[in-house]
Amino acid sequence: MLQHNGANAGKDMIFSYYKAVLAQARERTKILKAKVSRPVKEPDLLALRQRCESHLDVILRELEELEKDEYLERPEMLRQKVSILKKIISNISYIETTGIAALDRMKGDDIFLTRLLFHIHEEIGYPLLPPAVTCLSRQYYSIYPMLGLVQVPLAEADSLLHLPDLYHEIGHPLTSSKDNPRVEPFTNALGRFMEFAGQHFETEYVRTQRSSGPRDYFGVVVRQLQQSWVIFWSQEIFCDLFALYTLGSAYAWSHFHLVAERCGDPYRVDLSGGSEHPPDSARMEALLAGLKLVGMNQESELIRKRWEEFLLKLGYSSNEMYIRACPSSLLHKAALCAFEGTKGIECTIVSSSVGTHLVGDLLNKAWIEFWKSPIEYAVWEKQVIKNLKKHLASSSSTFCA
């Protein structure tokens, strides 16, 4: 028993505080569970609700185990106990502000896009459950793989040109899928590429240490690039390529659109710790290589010309750091590995010929219409979206683009 002097009273207070924090966390989780336990507006949302509930149940179990763990009651284990509690509280916040917020808000546009993504998953033979979609994004497209929820900006239900990014987002759950034989070819392909990238920069590191230049600086740079490629960039590029291989050139156009519309220097290499995205030019180079792999050489050349025109007119050019960070050999290897991975999971690979994919064909046609007449495109798009929404709302109506 601790004696009540100043130091021990302080220790008691901290222990009591964290006990109370744990109890509060448990109560909050139960409140969130009650919020989720209502009828859903749409069958496609059942999976999201179920995932939210499952996550909340896991959190409740973790809190209970943490509370009962006598070993972690020891004073010397406080730091470890608190680090686990913090992780759990982060998880509660995550579920609250994402899945549960989305379920609480579901409106017409969210349901339309959720149905659209359902169609996409059918068309391409996507092996996992299709995510729900919410228009709650405060930035751009993103996905919460743990919840099966895609977030898009508010007006995306009335626009086609960025919708190809949905295909990129559904690539992410594939990269983190486990114990699923159907998805293993994809994760194995990603693993092979990570190994290749890791080894490339290991070799680079050895080379820099033998060189006569500023070894320390370049040693740090190469290690940073190795970390970025293996942990982050490989996954991003794989998702780009998955989108390309299942949708087609519309994804490459969408990438062009995103960069030209919103982003900075496409050759800029971000060397801050754990930079998440490869340079945009590297992503485009991988996409163009991918288009050639699927036999879409004409489309690849057309996009390349427009891309190079964009770079020239805006004064962007390659630099030594970019070439060091994103060698063509690495990008082409990514294109090849991702192609093998996408084929391996039996998703439908795009080809030049027009198919019978309602959504895929429409998104590709949108870009053809846009380049035919960029100014008048909006009129065409408005009508097509109106027809599409009507079609998805009622399966008996015929869709006409």
Partner 1 sequence: MRKMSDLGLFGSVYEQLHEYSDQFNKFLFTIRRHDGIQRTEARLRLAQLLRSVTDKQNNSPSAHIVRMVLQRELPRTLGQPVSICDTLADALEHRDPLPQELESLGKISIAVNTECYSTMERMQGKI
Chain contacts with partner 1 (rule: CB under 8 A): 69, 71, 80, 83-84, 86-87, 90-91, 93-94, 97, 139-146, 151, 165, 168-169, 172-173, 175-176, 178, 187-188, 190-192, 194-195, 198, 223, 226-227, 230-232, 235-236, 239, 258, 262-263, 276-277
Looking at beta carbons only, is 168 or 391 nearer to partner 1? 168
Cα 199–chain centre separation:
25
226-229 own/partner pairs: CB under 8 Å, 24+ apart: 226/197, 226/198, 226/201, 226/202, 227/273, 227/274, 228/274, 228/275, 228/276, 228/278, 229/194, 229/197, 229/198, 229/200, 229/201, 229/278, 229/330
Burial class from Cβ neighbours inside 10 Å (0-12, 13-18, 19+) for residue 2 reads exposed
Residue 275 CB neighbour total at 10 angstroms: 18
Under DSSP, the state recorded for 75 is G
Q: How far is the CB of 79 from partner 1 (least distance, A)?
A: 9
Do residues 92 and 25 touch, judged by C-beta distance below 8 A? Answer: yes
Query: CB-wise, 94 or 377, nearer to partner 1?
Result: 94
Which residue lies nearer to partner 1 by CB, 4 or 178? 178
How many whole angstroms separate alpha carbon 141 and alpha carbon 137?
7
Closest separation between CB of residue 56 and partner 1, Å? 16
Question: Which is closer to partner 1, CB of 86 or CB of 372?
Answer: 86
What's the min distance (Å) between Cβ of 280 and partner 1?
9
Chain centroid to Cα 242, Å, comes to 12
Q: What is the CA radius of gyration of the chain?
A: 25
Q: Which is nearer to partner 1, 114 or 384 (CB)?
A: 114
Considering the complex, state which of residue 90 and residue 396 has its C-beta at the smaller distance from partner 1: 90
